[in-house]
Amino acid sequence: MAEYHFITYWHIEAPLAAVCMAIENSQSWPQWWRSVERVEELWPGDARGIGRVLRYTWKGRLPYRLTFDICVTHIEPLSAVEGIASGQVQGRGRWSFSSDGAVTVVRYEWQVYTTPRWMRLLAPVMRGVFKWNHDTVMQQGGEGLARQLNARLLKVAHACIDKSHPSVEERH
C-alpha cells in the first residue's frame, strides 16, 4: 500500500476570516486553484456542515486525475476543518488556521494512501515524483488563494513524513 503523509504551510498576508472562508467554501476552489477541476456536493450534512460530502477531481502536473470524496467530520470556526477521504485516495485531511499579526498561517495535513492499482505498483519508484506533484498542486493553491484574496503569499513550506525519506522544503 502506498501511504503518504504531507504537510503544507501557507503564510498569507490576509485576514484570518477571509482565508478560512475561502478554504471552507471549497466549491469555489476551481475558480482560483487551477489544479482543482471540479467540486460537487453529494450530501449537505447538518446545519454546521458536519457530514457534508464533497467530490473533488484534481489534475496536477502529471498526466492523471484523482477523484475522491471528502466527508467533513469536524469544524472549529476560524480554527480547523477536518475530513475523511474515500475513493482514489483514502485517509484524512485537516486544514488548520492561525494568525500572526496581519499574516494568516494555513497548515494542511494530508495523510492518505492511494487506491489505483497502477499508483500502488509504481509507488516504490515514483514516490518522489508523486510528492513533487502534490507539492506543485499545493504551491498553486497558495498562489491562487493569494490572488483570490488580493493578498501576498509570503511563504510556502512542504514536509513529507516518510520514515524512509523525510523531507522539508520551503519556497518563498
Pairing mode of beta strands 89-100, 65-76: unpaired
Which residues are CB-contacts of 169 (< 8 A; sequence separation ≥ 6)? 135, 157, 158, 159
Q: Is the pTM of this model over 0.75?
A: yes
Instruction: Report the alpha-carbon distance of residue 137 to residue 115 in Å, rounded.
Output: 19
Per-residue pLDDT in tens (0 to 9) along the chain, 172 residues: 689 999 999 999 999 999 999 999 999 999 999 999 999 999 999 999 999 999 999 999 999 999 999 999 999 999 999 999 999 999 999 999 999 999 999 999 999 999 999 999 999 999 999 999 999 999 999 999 999 999 999 999 999 887 555 454 555 4
Pairing mode of beta strands 103-114, 3-13: antiparallel
